[in-house]
Amino acid sequence: MDRKELIKTTFLEKYGYVPKKYAVGPGRVDLLGIHTDYNDGFVLPIAVDMDVIICGDKRNDNIINIYSCNMDSKVSFDIENNNYDENEKWSNYSRGVIKYLKEYGAEFGGADLVLESNLPIGSGLSSSAALESATGMILQALYGFECSGEDMAQIGKKSENLMVGVATGIMDQFASCNCKKDHALFLDCRTLEYKQLPLDCSMYKVVVCDTKKRRGLVDSEYDMRRAQCFEVVDILKEIYPQKKITHLRDITQEMLEENKDKLSFVQYKRAKHVISENDRGLASVEALNRGDFKAFGELMNQSHDSARDFYEVSCPELEAMVEAARQAPGALSGRLAGAGFGGCCVALVAADKIEEFKASAKSYYDAKTGLDSEYWVCSASDGAREI
């Protein structure tokens, strides 16, 4: 049964009538910009063609009912009494969106909703942002209030930060709300200005390669990297008081090299990665605008190598997967996705070589690690939308 049919049938079972509107919120994967977001730098995600699909209708009261097919769980709450749910934790992503949409001033009442997702949970495709953007979009479709994709992204982020309690940046929600089919989204994390860059997925697919190694020790390592970045900022802003340096974004590679002797080797390496990663982000804009996949693939590879050597956020499994991807037929690139220390790699692969790529990468990786890797072949898709 197709997924739209499935949620329609489920809706009919749960609520006894047929839903009126349908929407989707996609997952996302980053193609460039490792640990650049909190340094006010650039990121380059796409929305993938795997998503949360949701359907629903308005109610005459203020009650929200949401059923998740994946969790086989239903929650009911009054919009005026919408708090953190200890028991059905999954619902907090949607509860937060509803809470902060209200705070934003959106006018809506109750709704009956059913959702289903084909995104793997916790694998680096951001099923949580997809759930948030799908929730926002279906309410917008049902009630017709104004809310731009930029604002909806902020509301999703707020939900995740304040209702769920996870300190994420803006990229996931921004991509899930604002991406465009056959484009990558170049986002300036300082100003939230963005550009849509052509990425024709009839020629090259984005393959997400799950190492099946779950992230460990991320929080403490993450905090340490972040602190090291701001140590460099503090040192360089003393040297260049006229330049108003607040983030690594404000430092060039030349400035860094000139002051190398004032930094520890670790501080130098961290800054080197972030600053060069921002330069690769800018170079990607040019490469994709001229349709140069090879040059873009090379930038992705450099991004990984820099994250491994200078930011030191790789791990043996990610290294094995990057090797596996790069040696496989049709691959232009392989790099870690997300924050590192496990999770997924992302590869750019010629569309006519996908099956050979998967077979080759899997046999290489699984033999080397003993793990059972998994692959998702994605195209750059539109952000959250009514369907």
Which has the closest alpha carbon to 350: 372, 374, 371, 331? 331
Angle at 187 between CA 185 and CA 192, to 5 degrees: 130
State the pairing for strand pair 63-68/111-117: parallel
**C-beta pairs of 152-155 under 8 Å, 24+ apart in sequence:** 152/177, 152/384, 153/177, 153/178, 155/97, 155/100, 155/101, 155/104
Give the catalytic positions in this structure: 172
SS3 231: helix
Angle at 128 between CA 216 and CA 91, to 5 degrees: 110
203 binds, among Mg ion, ligand ADP, none (CB under 5 to 8 A by kind): none
Identify which of residues 52 and 345 has a Cβ nearer to ligand ADP in the complex. 52
**60-79: contacts with ligand ADP (CB under 6 A):** 68, 70-71
Give the span between the Cα atoms of 333 and 158, in whole angstroms: 34
Identify which of residues 126 and 314 has a Cβ nearer to Mg ion in the complex. 126
SS (H, E, C) 163-186: HHCCCCCCHHHHHHHHCCCCEEEE
Under rule CB under 6 A, residue 126 binds ligand ADP = yes
- CB 354: neighbour CB atoms within 10 A? 17
According to CB under 6 A, which one of 24, 44, 131, 179 is a site residue for ligand ADP? 131
Under rule CB under 6 A, residue 161 binds ligand ADP = no
Under rule CB under 6 A, residue 211 binds ligand ADP = no
- Cβ 11 to ligand ADP shortest distance, Å: 15
- Cβ 204 to ligand ADP shortest distance, Å: 24
- CB 13: neighbour CB atoms within 10 A? 10
Identify which of residues 114 and 380 has a Cβ nearer to ligand ADP in the complex. 114
Identify which of residues 126 and 301 has a Cβ nearer to ligand ADP in the complex. 126
**99-128: contacts with Mg ion (CB under 5 A):** 126, 128
- Cβ 210 to Mg ion shortest distance, Å: 15
- Cβ 137 to ligand ADP shortest distance, Å: 15
Q: Which residue is nearest to Mg ion (CB)?
A: 128
Identify which of residues 128 and 306 has a Cβ nearer to Mg ion in the complex. 128
- Cβ 68 to ligand ADP shortest distance, Å: 4
**Contact set with ligand ADP (CB under 6 A):** 52, 68, 70-71, 89-90, 93, 115, 117, 121-122, 124, 126-128, 131
